């Protein structure tokens, strides 16, 4: 089912979390939140919307990480009912697209619920204080752009890194619903 994300709730304090990668190593949100902010991307392997942006997601993440902005992805789907999203397939999916970021498993779906994640992909852009400043899409088609897209996430996060505030106009992300247990 195709869903859109809600409008950005500017200043919402993102809750810290502790999740593991598919190999079992533990990471926290706060240790990835740097002085230039953090993107938390709710994604999964089986979603055609995520598959369609996989290469751009990897490229834009590398750009943002090169700018000193943190980036993590969280998989909140109930992979017991959607086996394509299981941890073993997360590793393959990440390698296939060359993801440079952590791809973490939300086994009990508590992080997805705490953030109010709606769909995959669902992007949360935080400033250095962990306050939500962006909730929109990766990019959109733009006339005059040689790649046919405007890098909305990159531009928004660069603005957040520089000013602590996100753009007032944001385009909601859209994608497949989170598969809750």
pLDDT tens for 83-139 read 999 999 999 999 999 999 999 999 999 999 999 999 999 999 999 999 999 999 998
Helix (H) or strand (E) holding 97: helix 87-97
The pLDDT score that the predictor gives to residue 74 is 98
> Do the beta carbons of residue 124 and residue 40 sit within 8 Å?
yes
Whether cis (ω within 30° of 0) applies to the bond prior to 64 is no
Structural domains in the chain plus CATH codes: 2-177 (3.40.30.10)
- Does position 142 have pLDDT exceeding 50, yes or no? no
Determine the Cα–Cα distance for residues 30 and 180; give it in Å rounded to an integer. 25
Determine the Cα–Cα distance for residues 38 and 40; give it in Å rounded to an integer. 6
> Do the beta carbons of residue 127 and residue 145 sit within 8 Å?
no
Mean residue pLDDT of the chain comes to 93
Give the other-Cβ count within 10 Å of 168's Cβ: 7
Instruction: Find the largest Cα–Cα distance for the chain.
Output: 45
pTM above 0.85, yes or no: yes
**What residues pair up with 34 in beta bridges, in sequence order?**
37
Of residues 154 and 1, more confidently modeled:
154
> Do the beta carbons of residue 37 and residue 155 sit within 8 Å?
no
> Do the beta carbons of residue 150 and residue 57 sit within 8 Å?
no
> Do the beta carbons of residue 134 and residue 91 sit within 8 Å?
no
């Amino acid at each position: 089912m195709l869903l859109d994300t809600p409008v950005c709730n500017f200043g919402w304090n993102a809750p810290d979390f502790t999740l593991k990668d598919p190999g079992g190593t533990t990471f926290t949100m706060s240790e990835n939140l740097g002085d230039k902010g953090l993107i938390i991307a709710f994604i999964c392997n089986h979603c055609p919307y995520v598959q369609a942006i996989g290469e751009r997601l990897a490229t834009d993440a590398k750009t943002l990480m090169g700018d000193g902005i943190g980036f993590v992805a969280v998989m909140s789907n109930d992979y017991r009912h959607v086996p394509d999203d299981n941890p073993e397939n997360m590793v393959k999916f990440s390698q296939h697209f060359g993801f440079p970021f952590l791809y973490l498993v939300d086994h009990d779906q508590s992080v997805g619920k705490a953030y109010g994640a709606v769909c995959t992909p669902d992007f949360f852009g935080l400033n250095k204080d962990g306050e939500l400043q962006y909730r929109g899409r990766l990019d959109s088609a733009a006339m005059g752009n040689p790649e046919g897209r405007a890098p909305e996430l990159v531009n928004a996060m660069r603005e957040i890194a520089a000013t602590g505030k996100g753009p007032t106009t944001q385009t909601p992300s859209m994608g497949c619903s989170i598969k809750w247990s």
